Structure 1
Amino acid sequence: MDTAPNPARPADGHLTITPSILYFGTPVVLLTTENADGTVNLAPISSAWALGQTVVLGLGAQGQTGANLAVRPEMVISLPEPRQWPAVEHLGGLTGRPEAAGHGPRRARYEPDKFRATGFRAQASHTVRPPRVAECPIQLEARAARVATAAAGDFLIVEARVLKVHADPRLVVPGTQHIDPAAWSPLIYNFRHYFGLGPELGRSGVSETPCTSRPVSAVPGR
């Protein structure tokens, strides 16, 4: 009897691989910052996560966004919907820094007015100078508390303190300060492909909003 291991199924059940990127399902945000001449830069960011009232962002070290935040820490973090992915993808091929044009995997094109180029509209903020993206259902006015170089040296890690949150009324649970998770679907960047959310599976034990679907049974042994 042949007992040789199946190459499609390693003995320990997993393949050891070296992927070029680790975007294992992260939300896309659009970041507006102020240029030195008072104009605005708009950029898509695929590395963002929140803890309390702090949002941590990962940025390319050579981009206009990082250069702006190093000296002008105000920003707006706008969250697009899944249907807006074509505009987000178009935005990803533009740069607000002339010297960065033609570089990187996209060979980015210099564009000083990214709002006009992508069809997004600027909406005045309340507490910071950069504008919000009007079409985005959730917008966070924020200020960078720390901008540091990542361990590898080619990225920046930005810790941003959220100052004010704006939400489309359709996303807010009536009479509360809560976003309705059944009404909100972020644009997800999953190994360089765009996705929305699937059906709700259940909710955390600390959630303050009700579950809108029948929870899936827990995995045995977990």
Structure 2
Amino acid sequence: MNATPTTAPVRHHRTLTPSILYFGTPVVLLTTENPDGTANLAPVSSAWALGRTVVLGLGVDGRTAHNLADRPDLVVNLPSPDLWEAVERLAPLTGADPVPPAKRPVYRYEPDKFAAAGLTPQASVRVGPPRVAQCPLQLEARVRQRTPSADGSFWTVEAEVLHVHADPDITVPGTQHVDPGAWSPLVYNFRHYHGLGPELGHGFRSETAARRAG
């Protein structure tokens, strides 16, 4: 039986000029290959997916952006909420040496970010950069297009997903589906870390709701 639609209450608003607009997006850890063949690991809070494409927003001065300009392979690692402290340990680090002038007041150079964050590299199948072993969902990918922003401060990067790795605990047994009831991404919400709250319902195109109900 369908619930009877109700009119949602009208909200009253105020004008804001926030310093940032991280209005709640998943955190990803990107692994790329440095010029010397070592791995760079960087947290990114501007990422979304459509079909088999992941779209990323990357600052132009970062080691990740420079790496992908020359070596297009990467891994998009999605941490769970319990890994937020490891993500935060990465936040003030950069793989760029020397540190770009704009970053020097806040960031410091770190050549081994895996060790600094307490995370473990894991060999990939289709690309060179390693995966993050502690992340329940890992997407091996390759850059297909890079587009500069209007002000030149960041790149919009489109990457094709080549191979998906998922912890069995977050999948629906016997299927190719991630279980949305078992998987909770780490969300970056106005510079604060959150997990998902209780499920409110499911979309009409859900492929997992009937299986979970059964």
**TM-score, length-normalised on structure 2?**
0.90
- Mapped partners of 2:24, 2:110: distance in 1: 28
Distance 1:212 1:188, change over 3 A: farther
Whether the 8 Å CA contact 2:61–2:100 is kept in 1: the answer is no
Whether the 8 Å CA contact 1:101–1:110 is kept in 2: the answer is no
CA RMSD of aligned residues (A): 1.9
Give 1:1-222 correspondences, 5 Å limit.
Answer: 13-100=12-99, 103-104=102-103, 107-210=106-209
Q: Count residues with an aligned counterpart.
A: 203
Deviation at 1:170, TM superposition (A): 0.6
Deviation at 1:20, TM superposition (A): 1.1
1:66 aligns to what SS in structure 2? helix
Deviation at 1:117, TM superposition (A): 1.0
- Mapped partners of 2:20, 2:175: distance in 1: 39
Structure 1 gap segments, 5+ residues each: 1-11, 215-222
**TM-score, length-normalised on structure 1?**
0.87
- Mapped partners of 1:105, 1:209: distance in 2: 47
1:30-59 Cα deviation digits (max 9, x unpaired): 000001110110000000000000000001
- Mapped partners of 2:117, 2:211: distance in 1: 35
Deviation at 1:13, TM superposition (A): 2.2
1:64-96 Cα deviation digits (max 9, x unpaired): 000000010000000001111111011011000
1:117 aligns to what SS in structure 2? helix
- Mapped partners of 1:187, 1:165: distance in 2: 18
Distance 1:92 1:140, change over 3 A: same
Specify the code of the residue in structure 2 equivalent to 1:109.
R
Distance 1:205 1:142, change over 3 A: same
2:35 aligns to what SS in structure 1? coil
Residue of structure 1 equivalent to 2:4: none
Work out the percentage of aligned pairs sharing the same amino acid: 63
- Mapped partners of 2:161, 2:150: distance in 1: 25
Residue of structure 2 equivalent to 1:6: none
1:85 aligns to what SS in structure 2? helix
Specify the code of the residue in structure 2 equivalent to 1:176.
T
Whether the 8 Å CA contact 1:33–1:65 is kept in 2: the answer is yes
Whether the 8 Å CA contact 2:124–2:130 is kept in 1: the answer is yes
Residue of structure 2 equivalent to 1:3: none
